[in-house]
Chain A
Amino acid sequence: MADFSIVGTRYGRIDGKDKATGRAKYINDLNFPGMLYGKILRSPYFHARIVHIDTTRAEKLIGVRAVATVEDTPKKKYGSYRSGVKDELIFAQEKVRYVGDEVAAVAAIDEETAYEALSLIRVEYEELPGVFHPEEAIKPGAPKVHDEVENNIVSHAVTLRGDIEKGFKEADLILEDRFETPLQIHAYLEPVGCIAAWDSNGKLTLWAPSQNPSWSRFIYAEALDVPMGKLRVVQTFIGGAFGGKLEQKQYLIAAILARKARRPVKIVNSRDEEFQTSMPRVPMVIYLKMGVKKKGLLTAKEHRIYADNGAYTKYATAVLNLGTYRVDGLYRLQNIRNENYLVYTNKVPTSAFRGFGNPQITFAVESMLDQLAEGIGMDALELRMHNAAEAGDVTAHGFQYVSCGLKECLQKTAEAIGWESKRGGKNIRRGVGISATSHVCGNRSFFPLFDGATAYARVDEGGQVKILTGEVEVGQGLLTAYAAICAEEMGIPISEVTVEPPDTDIAPFGLGTWGDRGTFIGGSAVKLAAADAKKQILEVGAEMLEANVSDLDCQEGKVFVKGSPHKSILFEEVASAAVYRRGGSPVMGKGTFIPASELADETRYGNISGTYAFGAQTAEVEVNEETGEVRILQIAAAHDVGQAINITTTEGQIEGATVQGMGYALAEEVQYEQGVMLTPNFLYYRIPTSLDAPPMKTFLVKTVDPGPFGAKGVAEPAMTPTAPAIANAIYDAIGVRIKDLPITPQKVLAALAKKK
């Protein structure tokens, strides 16, 4: 493999100085002249009929500029893009369906006045019975969350591959079990917020930390009933997202208030609103059945999932139907039956969160693999190695693995944790566990209009290169990766490249940050754009040096004749000549990358991604049998990332994801009692702190991929294997298997008591 000057090394983020000095402006740091503050009145009931809303007293309060209810909106039902379900309005009409449902909003000259105005709105409710668990909600006679939806079923899908009956008939051991996963909240530290402003010609601009500025406009246009061309989204610095900063209803409410008040309106969530109303991970009840032959060959897998959609449909349909079948390609399974029910409850709407359904199903499958291995008397690592996918495989669902470092990841992580010496309860109350994962790098099925990305590399007269992209930095280091890819391709220092968050009026239409697509797809477009810009620069350089363009190259900021490096000219001199010779036109390199993915057919069969990411993790745990506490002694994570663009940020993705996975495994659960949230703050909902986070060893496994310099994604798959690896390690340590996350001390103690 070729050596690179920047790619594959370690370097600081290009936005690092702005972030380290407090200069980076997040949405709540921005204020406009005349700007108003919006606050939302939310339902205190989990299910109730709205009898009457009286806003007159709020409207009369000094300092209030607008009060809005559903009457101020187009009353057009909308839904998240391509969910196929349109079940919500900008404000509740007739009914509220969860604690937090939006009922009304006010815009006032300051926050205090806005809060006071909320307290003056009188809403008369008539309480209704509620449903809080998908297995309860689906029962005949359960209260209906949406009157027109029978049995609260949002969607029901069955996927069949191979011959499931034959698969189970061939098995020597069949296991069946029930697993359950919790409501996990993103807990990004920057609360969601936006500023909305309309111009005189009816154009709306939203300044917002948006993960998908370009196509979020489809939803906003539909809900507000304005043409998409009249919607501009300007992305601000994002203080963490993890799937939680796709479309937001707050932005629509700010837009409604701003239109009514004829002033810019800012809405920023309180932390309580973040817990009550942001769109957390989809909880799932998973019934799993798997078969294995004595010698370790997996013969069949069947799952039936009841997933909790909450009160309205965001991306839970896609999470369930596009997310939970990926695990089937991790091992060479051919006989598969998957059945998915998505069910309404009177709780917070659930949606996308790092891993997108994969952490849920992988927890179940990887737990059961250990159960199967034990049942046939085989080592758990050996069982995985025996069935692991390889490069060149076409999976049961049609995924084509152009590269696959899964086996190497399994071996690396096992070796790093000391598998041989520690596995099998060799140490009292200590154990090790393993789990693998696979993921897409982009997903053609999620956005069927196109797969791919476009970027521009604009070289100005000073030789500065600016990358224009519609892709999104959420903290993962995307801007830095793009700067590095551009600098590497053009042969200039990374300091000469700037990349800024997109403004939809200027940036190419980008699909945004999800599905591990940013580096693989967006980065490929940047590389092509940089190559195009370099070609144009070399053409001008050839004129200046009186040489053949094919004899020229650019390195370290110098354009030179290959073989005669003394015959050179500074990149910036060529750039300024290029601009002046072309009537002031900057050099515009354009790159469009379309991966070799295809739209899946109606049975969800198809190669939906241009490449796939793999990984495996091991955990070593110590369990206190007196208190039930689990301490993670170390985690070793090996991930097939193709070629890392920046070693430091790639490790950072793996470490951060792993600690989120650890929180998912041991502590994190939004708890409700009869529709009322018990955990709406960081005191009751505990995310890992610096004292909880374990020592981590990360390994980057190289494969040859079609991505930019061979890179593929890592951010999502790195959190998927953590929880099952921990659960498997706990079993190895104390012989109890916890099948519902999180694995709290109470559950451990209860399981230990039952075992005795």
Chain B
Amino acid sequence: MKAKVHLKVNGYDYDLEVEPRRTLLELIREDLELTGTKEGCSLGECGTCTVLLDGKPIKSCITLAVQANGREVTTIEGLEKSDGTLHPIQQAFIDHGAIQCGFCTPGMVLSAKALLDENPRPTEIEVRQAIAGNLCRCTGYQKIVEAILSVSSKEQRA
């Protein structure tokens, strides 16, 4: 028995029918073909599947698609403006060397966005706490933290 789900993803409305046990990650990656959201562990431990659900960061691999019914989802594909301008956090990640292999980047950027939306001038420790659920094996986090702090100090957020 499939369940009806209505949700908004990156500003677009969708009416879908999904298996009740389908995860939000499967809905995003397979049904909507938005592959910017990554699958790193399927256990909610690595954070590469992070998306925003009504503005809050969640791990979409351990969230059911039906839980997103009637709600708004933002994935990494939803951050770039239609004219191609990157979100200031995305640009800061590039400029500060916060990206290496890039696999954690979409989730990391979204966790950072959720933080800055809530707390535009975080301290370094607040930044580190906000991304503590997003593992990165490449950077040692220093440049990621610097990138996020640079956006907050410039107050250039969209």
Question: B102 to nearest A CB, angstroms?
Answer: 3
Residues of chain A contacted by B103 (CB below 8 angstroms): 26, 188-190, 239-240
B112-145 interface (Cβ within 8 A of A): 127-129, 131-145
Please state if A22 and B42 are interface contacts (CB–CB under 8 Å). no
Interface-lining segment among B1-9, B31-39, B63-71, B149-157: B31-39
Q: Which of B42, B96, B141 contacts A659 (CB 8 A)?
A: B141
Q: Which of A188, A242, A475, A655 contacts B143 (CB 8 A)?
A: A655
Please state if A689 and B135 are interface contacts (CB–CB under 8 Å). yes
A631-683 interface (Cβ within 8 A of B): 648-649, 651-652, 655-660, 681-683
Q: A23 an interface residue at 8 Å Cβ cutoff?
A: yes
Residues of chain A contacted by B60 (CB below 8 angstroms): none
Please state if A20 and B109 are interface contacts (CB–CB under 8 Å). yes
Q: Which of B99, B131, B133, B137 contacts A16 (CB 8 A)?
A: B99
With A188-B101, A475-B101 in contact, do A682 and B143 touch (Cβ < 8 Å)? no
Q: Which of A28, A29, A241, A691 contacts B128 (CB 8 A)?
A: A691
Q: A13 an interface residue at 8 Å Cβ cutoff?
A: yes
Q: A24 an interface residue at 8 Å Cβ cutoff?
A: yes
Q: Which of A25, A656, A683 contacts B138 (CB 8 A)?
A: A656
Q: Which of A12, A13, A189 contacts B136 (CB 8 A)?
A: A189
Question: A729 to nearest B CB, angstroms?
Answer: 18
Please state if B48 and A189 are interface contacts (CB–CB under 8 Å). yes
CA distance A604 to B1 in the complex (A): 66
Shortest 5 CB-CB distances between A and B: which pairs? A22-B36, A475-B101, A19-B102, A239-B103, A659-B140
Residues of chain A contacted by B134 (CB below 8 angstroms): 690
Q: Which of B40, B94, B104, B138 contacts A191 (CB 8 A)?
A: B40
Question: A72 to nearest B CB, angstroms?
Answer: 29
With A22-B34, A22-B36, A240-B101 in contact, do A656 and B137 touch (Cβ < 8 Å)? yes
Q: B15 an interface residue at 8 Å Cβ cutoff?
A: no
CA distance A475 to B77 in the complex (A): 21
Q: A476 an interface residue at 8 Å Cβ cutoff?
A: yes
Q: A687 an interface residue at 8 Å Cβ cutoff?
A: yes
Q: 7 A–B contact pairs at CB < 8 A? A: A20-B99, A21-B36, A22-B106, A241-B101, A688-B140, A690-B131, A693-B141
Question: A728 to nearest B CB, angstroms?
Answer: 20
Interface contacts beyond A186-B137, A190-B40, A655-B143: sample of 6 additional A-B pairs, CB < 8 Å, sorted by A: A16-B99, A656-B137, A681-B41, A682-B43, A687-B135, A691-B132
Q: Looking across the interface, which residue of chain A has its beta carbon closest to that of B106?
A: A22
Q: A17 an interface residue at 8 Å Cβ cutoff?
A: yes
With A20-B105, A682-B135 in contact, do A189 and B40 touch (Cβ < 8 Å)? yes
Residues of chain B contacted by A649 (CB below 8 angstroms): 97, 100
Residues of chain B contacted by A28 (CB below 8 angstroms): 35, 38-39
A residues engaging B (CB < 8 A)?
A: 10, 12-13, 15-26, 28-29, 186-191, 237-242, 270-271, 474-477, 648-649, 651-652, 655-660, 681-683, 687-691, 693, 695-696
CA distance A29 to B128 in the complex (A): 29
Please state if B102 and A237 are interface contacts (CB–CB under 8 Å). yes
Q: Looking across the interface, which residue of chain A has its beta carbon closest to that of B86?
A: A20
CA distance A217 to B49 in the complex (A): 33
Residues of chain B contacted by A12 (CB below 8 angstroms): 94-95, 97
CA distance A657 to B80 in the complex (A): 31
Residues of chain B contacted by A270 (CB below 8 angstroms): 42
B12-37 interface (Cβ within 8 A of A): 29, 34-37
Q: B62 an interface residue at 8 Å Cβ cutoff?
A: no
Which size bracket describes the interface of B in this complex?
A: 35 or more
Most B CB atoms within 10 A — which of A26, A189, A477, A688? Answer: A189
Q: Which of B42, B48, B79, B127 contacts A21 (CB 8 A)?
A: B79
CA distance A655 to B150 in the complex (A): 19
Please state if A682 and B138 are interface contacts (CB–CB under 8 Å). no
Residues of chain B contacted by A186 (CB below 8 angstroms): 137
Question: A674 to nearest B CB, angstroms?
Answer: 24
CA distance A656 to B141 in the complex (A): 8
Q: B58 an interface residue at 8 Å Cβ cutoff?
A: no
Question: A648 to nearest B CB, angstroms?
Answer: 4
Residues of chain A contacted by B54 (CB below 8 angstroms): none
Q: Looking across the interface, which residue of chain B has its beta carbon closest to that of A685?
A: B45
Q: Which of B39, B45, B105, B137 contacts A19 (CB 8 A)?
A: B105
Residues of chain B contacted by A237 (CB below 8 angstroms): 101-102
Residues of chain A contacted by B39 (CB below 8 angstroms): 28, 191
Please state if B139 and A16 are interface contacts (CB–CB under 8 Å). no
Residues of chain B contacted by A25 (CB below 8 angstroms): 35
Residues of chain B contacted by A189 (CB below 8 angstroms): 38, 40, 46, 48, 101, 103-104, 135-137
Please state if A648 and B96 are interface contacts (CB–CB under 8 Å). yes
Residues of chain B contacted by A689 (CB below 8 angstroms): 132-133, 135, 141
Please state if B93 and A477 are interface contacts (CB–CB under 8 Å). no
Residues of chain B contacted by A239 (CB below 8 angstroms): 38, 101-103
Q: Which of B29, B94, B127 contacts A13 (CB 8 A)?
A: B94
Please state if B38 and A648 are interface contacts (CB–CB under 8 Å). no
Please state if B45 and A681 are interface contacts (CB–CB under 8 Å). yes
Most B CB atoms within 10 A — which of A19, A191, A271? Answer: A19
CA distance A613 to B137 in the complex (A): 23
Residues of chain A contacted by B91 (CB below 8 angstroms): 20
Question: B122 to nearest A CB, angstroms?
Answer: 13
Residues of chain A contacted by B101 (CB below 8 angstroms): 188-190, 237-241, 474-475
Please state if A690 and B137 are interface contacts (CB–CB under 8 Å). no
Please state if A655 and B139 are interface contacts (CB–CB under 8 Å). yes
Please state if B137 and A683 are interface contacts (CB–CB under 8 Å). no
Residues of chain A contacted by B97 (CB below 8 angstroms): 10, 12-13, 648-649, 651-652
CA distance A29 to B106 in the complex (A): 14
Q: B73 an interface residue at 8 Å Cβ cutoff?
A: no
Please state if A690 and B102 are interface contacts (CB–CB under 8 Å). no
With A271-B40, A682-B45, A683-B43 in contact, do A15 and B102 touch (Cβ < 8 Å)? yes
CA distance A656 to B82 in the complex (A): 34
Please state if B42 and A271 are interface contacts (CB–CB under 8 Å). yes
Question: B132 to nearest A CB, angstroms?
Answer: 5
CA distance A476 to B101 in the complex (A): 7
Residues of chain B contacted by A687 (CB below 8 angstroms): 135, 137
Please state if B35 and A29 are interface contacts (CB–CB under 8 Å). yes
CA distance A241 to B45 in the complex (A): 19
Q: B76 an interface residue at 8 Å Cβ cutoff?
A: yes
Residues of chain B contacted by A15 (CB below 8 angstroms): 102
Question: A205 to nearest B CB, angstroms?
Answer: 21
Most A CB atoms within 10 A — which of B41, B76, B95, B138? Answer: B138
